[in-house]
Structure formats: structure tokens, C-alpha cells
């Protein structure tokens, strides 16, 4: 709770300093914080409530954490203030058996369960933007990336405000 309070204070300070809305992003984590008495959903909810900030919801991070920490990603999404979501990120991940984990890489194709979570979130709340994160391992055929964008657009296109509807350039 002390950490949530500290982070929330910093978020409020950023909004005041920048005179713009500030968003917190949910992150991937690979071990539980020793001594923590809050779940990830409780921590995110507390920070957003105390700070007045919005949420940059990384759907792949929700999925990766759910696999690594054995929880239902839909239950997690029901526990956070999803209505505070301003922007959504989607990305790919790898299964890393040597680490006994799923690892957020931003370098692989988006998995179907991540697309399913994206649709679920967009059915629950309005957002301003959906962003494909791809930082490495670009495929030789760029059409693979365009196919991912097309799938995101087909899910998000009907959910975004008219003035934000995606176009292909």
C-alpha cells in the first residue's frame, strides 16, 4: 500500500507538471515481490484511484502474467478499473522452457488468446487507440505485420470512435 501511494503521488505530480493526462501501464513480472500484500490487480486499482491517472493496458502483459502466475486473465480484467483504459498495446511473446516461463518479447506474432482479450476489453470500454508493439524479429515478409494490423483493425474498427477509425496507408 505504501508503494501504491508513492506511485500514485508521482502520477499526480506528472499530470500537474505536464498539464496533460498521464497513463500508467501494467507490466510483465516474472516473480512475486517479496513482502507484497496486494495482488497486481489491487495494486493497479489503488494507483489509478489515488492518482486520477488513466491506464495504458498492455493486453499481452496481462496474458503473459496470467500464464506465468496461473490466473484467469478475464478475472484479472474484471478486477481492475478497465473503464480507465485510454490506450491498449498488443504484442507477441515466446514460450521459454529454459526459464519455465512465457516471456514478453515484442518480437513475435500476436497469439490468438491476446486477440481474444483485446476483443473482450474493447467490448467493455471505449479507448482512444490500439497500438501494435513490434520491436524485433521483423518477418522477411512485411505482409505478416500488415496481417496483424488488419486483424487488430477488424477487432478495433467497430469499437473506436468514428473520428479514430483506422485507415490503411
Q: Name 126's Cβ contacts closer than 8 Å, sequence gap at least 6.
A: 159, 161
pLDDT in tens, 65-92: 999 999 999 999 999 999 999 999 999 8
| pLDDT number for residue 161 | 55
| pLDDT number for residue 36 | 85
pLDDT in tens, 39-72: 999 999 999 999 999 999 999 999 999 999 999 9
**3-state SS track over 69-132:** CCCCHHHHHHHCCHHHEEEEEECCEEEECCCCEEEECCCCCCCHHHHHHHHHHHHHCCCCEEEE
Regarding predicted confidence, which is higher, 75 or 147?
A: 75
- The SS3 of residue 25 is strand
pTM: 0.87
Amino acid at each position: 500500500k505504501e508503494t501504491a501511494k508513492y506511485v500514485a503521488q508521482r502520477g499526480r505530480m506528472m499530470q500537474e507538471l505536464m498539464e496533460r493526462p498521464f497513463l500508467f501501464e501494467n507490466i510483465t513480472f516474472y516473480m512475486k515481490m517479496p513482502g507484497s500484500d496486494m495482488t497486481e490487480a489491487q495494486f493497479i486499482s489503488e494507483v489509478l484511484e489515488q492518482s486520477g491517472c488513466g491506464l495504458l493496458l498492455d493486453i499481452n502483459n496481462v496474458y503473459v502474467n496470467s500464464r506465468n502466475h496461473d490466473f484467469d486473465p478475464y478475472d484479472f480484467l474484471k478486477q481492475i478499473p478497465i473503464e480507465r483504459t485510454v490506450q491498449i498495446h498488443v504484442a507477441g511473446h515466446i514460450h521459454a522452457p529454459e526459464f519455465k516461463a512465457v516471456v514478453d518479447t515484442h518480437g513475435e506474432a500476436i497469439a490468438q488468446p491476446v486477440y481474444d482479450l483485446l476483443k473482450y476489453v474493447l467490448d467493455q470500454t471505449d479507448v482512444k487507440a490500439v497500438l501494435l508493439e513490434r520491436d524485433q524479429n521483423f518477418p522477411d515478409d512485411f505482409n505478416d505485420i500488415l496481417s496483424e494490423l488488419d486483424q487488430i483493425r477488424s477487432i478495433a474498427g467497430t469499437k473506436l470512435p468514428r473520428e479514430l477509425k483506422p485507415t490503411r496507408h
